[in-house]
Amino acid sequence: MTLFDVYPLNNIAITSAKDSYVWDENGVQYLDMYGGHAVISIGHTHPHWVKRIEDQLEKIAFYSNSVIIPIQKNLADKLGAVSGKTDYQLFLCNSGAEANENALKLASFVTGRKKIIAFSKSFHGRTSLAVAATDNPSIVAPVNETENIIFLPFNDAQALQKCFDEQGSAIAAVIIEGIQGVGGINVADDDFLQLIRGLCDAHGSVYIADSVQCGYGRSGKFFSHDHAGVNADIYTMAKGMGNGFPVAGILIAPHIKPKHGMLGTTFGGNQLACAAALAVLEVIEQENLVANAATTGNYLMEQLRLIPGLQNVRGRGLMIGFDVPDERKDLKKKLLFDHKVFTGEAKPNVIRLLPSLALKKEQADQFLSLLRKAVG
Ligand SMILES: Cc1ncc(COP(=O)(O)O)c(C=O)c1O
């Protein structure tokens, strides 16, 4: 049997990992400034995470959501404490797309409306409504096409205001990444997020903060939307939540009331996933990783701005992007194959940095020195 060939692959097989490093099958070490696509939050194979998963495996890995699963409540309490959203409700699922799908569905259920506002360069996942709200027609199948999504320009206050003036009573939800990831590290303006909050309040619409990539401490605050001092009605979370163990969820504001059968999943919230997610929050708390993301991220951005040839360094915390001019468009490959550094990219010419939130200053310095060589 062959694998369904949908991924353009680098010819490297990664077989082990620790902290901010990974090794290939020949023992070659790579510095991981990509975090396996923003997934590695507390560092690869963190010992506390490994131990908690092992201990849980010995007890029980899975039972369905037809019984009380105490570790789900432990996770909800810890997530409330670490995120500061203590009065929110948690629904657990398995991936970022599924989190967004549930958030959009919930918004439609509670408002009784169909229209969703999404933004240019957004990415919300590949399932039916999540992909319809994604600004990339090439990944939207004919069956996913819908008239229910209204795309507006990102950070355009006037266009948003006009849309609500004209059809506010039809808008179920606004969905926005606090920092666009796949779109190329574009930070939503604080006053734009405040405007979304105000318009959703005025028109009875649901504010969905897609925090799948920019959440979980990556921006230097638990949710990147916290920088704007606003509370969303629903936060969607995935990547960093399990440090590589597949687990996702949505945080739901207290004014949204649940009904039995409204949402559901077989695997979501299983014991093993909850153990992994709890371990992540415990390490984030014990090792002050949100603060580390802020300081190490600021340091990296300051230093990147001093490197000639890199343009428009931007981001928050450890979610950083910069543009490379045309003549350096092979920089990502050069970093990987010549200097053994994983980074991310966004088309056409953006390098994305999404390392573990535990990245140390020495590792940031190691990256900067390799980058200077690669650019130089
Ligand atoms: C902002 C955002 N939302 C949703 C998703 C989809 O997550 P998943 O791939 O886990 O379905 C992604 C994945 O890159 C993302 O970056």
In a domain, 41, yes or no: no
Q: What is the pLDDT of residue 95?
A: 98
Tell me the per-residue pLDDT of 158-214, one tens digit each, with 9 for 90 and over.
Answer: 999 999 999 999 999 999 999 999 999 999 999 999 999 999 999 999 999 999 999
φ, ψ for residue 315, nearest 5 deg:
135, -170
In a domain, 105, yes or no: yes
In a domain, 339, yes or no: no
In a domain, 25, yes or no: no
Number of structural domains, the chain? 1
Q: Which two tokens stand for residue 77?
A: 């309490």
What's the rounded Cα separation, in Å, for the pair 289 and 231? 22
Task: Look at the pTM and tell me if it is higher than 0.95.
Answer: yes
Q: How confident is the model at residue 376 (pLDDT cuts 50, 70, 90)?
A: confident
Q: What is the pLDDT of residue 329?
A: 87
| Least confident among 44-53, 185-194, 250-259, 340-349 | 340-349
Question: What is the domain-level CATH number for residue 174?
Answer: 3.40.640.10
Structural domain boundaries enclosing 74: 47-286
Pocket of ligand 1 (CB under 6 A): 95-97, 100, 123-125, 177, 181-182, 210, 212-213, 238
In a domain, 266, yes or no: yes
Strand order in the sheet with 311-316: 311-316, 319-323, 350-353, 344-346
Contact 249, 105 (CB under 8 A): no
Contact 196, 160 (CB under 8 A): yes
In a domain, 325, yes or no: no
Q: Which two tokens stand for residue 244?
A: 């590589």
Tell me the per-residue pLDDT of 282-321, one tens digit each, with 9 for 90 and over.
Answer: 999 999 999 999 999 999 999 999 999 999 999 999 999 9
Q: Which of 135, 212, 354 to mutate to test the pocket of ligand 1 (most atoms within 8 A of CB)?
A: 212
Query: What number of other Cβ atoms are within 10 A of residue 252's Cβ?
Result: 24
What's the rounded Cα separation, in Å, for the pair 117 and 157? 13
In a domain, 177, yes or no: yes
Q: How confident is the model at residue 347 (pLDDT cuts 50, 70, 90)?
A: confident
